[in-house]
A and B are shown apart, each in its own frame.
Chain A
Amino acid sequence: MPEVPISPAAVIELLTAEHILEPQEPITPDTDLFSMGLDSMAMMQLLLLIEERFRLTINPAEMTRERFATAAALAGFLEEKRRLAA
């Protein structure tokens, strides 16, 4: 199966389609995800979904506030992980 491209839009789609976030207004690449309700208890679910969707392995210790602050930051982190894994 081909790799699913990583982009802020793909991250936003993952967050909303899988009900990790249930936003009242649209999420942009720079929206603060924590203000939209992304909480610690949803993070394990998000981690598993990211691993499944983008076929990457993430160590929980890598899950920092900066990397998960926005869809753009998260996409950047995931792209870097994929690049290093290649």
Chain B
Amino acid sequence: MSILPATTVDFFLAGLEAFMRRSGQGTHWGVTVLRLKSKPDAPTLTQGWEQVHAQHPMLGARLKRQWRGWRWVWETHGAITAPPICWHPAQVLPPDEAVIQERLQGRSSAGALTSPLWMEVFPCGADGEHVILLTWRHALLDGTGINLLLEKLAVGSCTSGPPLLTATPIDKPALLYKRARPLMDRLQAMTTAGCLSAWIKGMPQNGRPEHRLIELSRDESGEAVARLRALCGDFMQMPFYAAMAARALRLLHEGRGWSSPEIHLHLPIQLRGRSRELIFGNHMGAMPLFLDAGELGSLEQTVTHLLEKYREAMKQGMPQASDALTNLAAHLPLSTFIPLVRWTNMGQICSLFHSHTGSFLPGRTEFAGAAVENVFTIPSVSAPPGLGIFVSDYAGLITVTLAWRGDGVSQAEIKAMEQRIRTDLTGMAEERPQ
């Protein structure tokens, strides 16, 4: 048995999952889809898969409280045996929404998934195309981890285990409180203003995980990247895409006649000092941002406003405040964490979930010997917030995933948001009904 340090985000995700289970929303799963132009090499894929499991005992890890210091740690129990890769029989179409929905519920046709990581290969179409579905527990993997995992599987080799992690020193509660104070003040102000998500009290929480893919063509993706660079340079992808997501949610609020003076974003940011070689275990911290709903008139205006807020939040030490607040909360029982957040945030957690953690497989054109067409992820979301807008990027090809729960968002709302997102990203005018 060995013990690995956990981060506050590990605690956040475990708390979120505890809340999801209690409210009938199941376990927090995500799916990564790889579209390949030909059949991947089975021995390469199997070798990489087995080596990843052999080298990373985190795949069997359990988050537990350590008596010493009362802190959360990952407890592992040695090498894990890889579950077999499931090769499906040839079919005409790629796995449909129902298959992905089943995986997001932690199930396959054979029953419940019994490992936090599953791989399936679907031969589909007459041209030798194959689709790989990787189903993963969000408690163990994030966007950065998925990319690292894909890098190993792409070449069929994972010969080293995780880097040596050192636990961060335990800060005194008084110091954590002082550091958390800017965010606590901000959250208090929000309680007065009120930030809505796609979910409000009275709406169902236990609907099935749903999703819609907005796949931009090569030309549309080129337009989006050009807009992004013109507004945010080569590095600020997150503010650009977060602005797009905030505007889509604002549209949903307007359509419902809801008034949310602010949009509360919870953006992932890279934890400093966290190894980039770590596949399993979270790399991200959370950056809370509060956008004034009146400043979301156009994408350009939203980006400018968001960058101002981003600057302001960084200056106020919001990432550190968020980490300190979660650290303080980590002293509480896991099951009380999200209820406490919701109590502070008038029943909400944040306005929506959103992420863009960079490009998948940068510089790589092949995966296990097969040419890659596209890679994207489909995370599930909890209610609240009831809506997630995620952006995937493979070789400049942009795919946006809208994720929601059951009947929490209507098809008409999804269609309207899709149209708004396409317009925002590409700059092309919305089609208006005649």
Please report A residues at the B interface, Cβ cutoff 8 Å: 19, 22, 37, 39-45, 48, 59-65, 68
Report whether B236 and A60 are in contact in the complex, using a CB–CB cutoff of 8 Å.
yes
- Does B310 interact with chain A (Cβ within 8 Å)? yes
List 13 A-B residue pairs with CB atoms under 8 Å apart, sorted by A's residue number. A39-B270, A40-B236, A40-B238, A41-B268, A41-B269, A44-B311, A48-B314, A60-B232, A60-B235, A60-B239, A62-B233, A64-B234, A65-B234
20 new A-B contacts at CB < 8 Å, known A63-B234, A68-B234:
A22-B272, A40-B236, A40-B237, A41-B238, A41-B268, A41-B270, A42-B270, A43-B235, A43-B236, A44-B236, A44-B310, A44-B311, A45-B314, A48-B314, A60-B236, A60-B239, A61-B232, A61-B233, A62-B233, A63-B236
Chain B contacts for A40, CB-based, 8 A: 235-238, 358
Per the 8 Å Cβ criterion, residues 202-237 of B in contact with A are 229-237
Interchain CA distance A45-B272 in the complex, whole Å: 11
Interchain CA distance A43-B239 in the complex, whole Å: 12
For the complex formed, measure the closest distance between the CB of A42 and the CB atoms of chain B, giving whole angstroms: 6
Closest to B273 in A: A22
Q: Closest 8 A-B residue pairs measured CB to CB?
A: A63-B233, A41-B270, A43-B235, A40-B235, A65-B234, A60-B236, A61-B233, A60-B233
Interchain CA distance A70-B358 in the complex, whole Å: 20
Chain B contacts for A62, CB-based, 8 A: 233
Closest to A63 in B: B233
Interface residue count for B (Cβ, 8 Å)?
23
Please report B residues at the A interface, Cβ cutoff 8 Å: 229-239, 268-270, 272-273, 276, 307, 310-311, 314-315, 358
Chain A contacts for B307, CB-based, 8 A: 60
Q: Output the residue of B234, B237, B270, B276 with the most chain A CB within 10 A.
A: B234
Interchain CA distance A40-B270 in the complex, whole Å: 9
Interchain CA distance A64-B230 in the complex, whole Å: 10
Chain B contacts for A65, CB-based, 8 A: 234
Interchain CA distance A68-B235 in the complex, whole Å: 10
Closest to A42 in B: B270
Interchain CA distance A4-B427 in the complex, whole Å: 41
Interchain CA distance A59-B273 in the complex, whole Å: 27
Chain B contacts for A43, CB-based, 8 A: 235-236
Report whether A19 and B310 are in contact in the complex, using a CB–CB cutoff of 8 Å.
no
Chain B contacts for A48, CB-based, 8 A: 311, 314-315
Chain B contacts for A63, CB-based, 8 A: 233-236
Chain B contacts for A42, CB-based, 8 A: 270, 272
Report whether A61 and B229 are in contact in the complex, using a CB–CB cutoff of 8 Å.
yes
Interchain CA distance A43-B314 in the complex, whole Å: 11
Closest to B237 in A: A40
Q: With A44-B236, A64-B234, A68-B235 in contact, do A37 and B276 touch (Cβ < 8 Å)?
A: yes
Interchain CA distance A40-B229 in the complex, whole Å: 13
Chain A contacts for B268, CB-based, 8 A: 41
Report whether B230 and A61 are in contact in the complex, using a CB–CB cutoff of 8 Å.
yes
Interchain CA distance A41-B358 in the complex, whole Å: 9
Chain A contacts for B273, CB-based, 8 A: 19, 22
Interchain CA distance A60-B235 in the complex, whole Å: 8
Closest to B319 in A: A45
For the complex formed, measure the closest distance between the CB of B147 and the CB atoms of chain A, giving whole angstroms: 12
Interchain CA distance A40-B358 in the complex, whole Å: 8
Chain A contacts for B314, CB-based, 8 A: 44-45, 48
Chain B contacts for A41, CB-based, 8 A: 238, 268-270
Chain A contacts for B232, CB-based, 8 A: 60-61
For the complex formed, measure the closest distance between the CB of B254 and the CB atoms of chain A, giving whole angstroms: 28
Chain A contacts for B235, CB-based, 8 A: 40, 43, 60, 63, 68
Interchain CA distance A62-B234 in the complex, whole Å: 8
For the complex formed, measure the closest distance between the CB of B188 and the CB atoms of chain A, giving whole angstroms: 25
Chain A contacts for B270, CB-based, 8 A: 39, 41-42
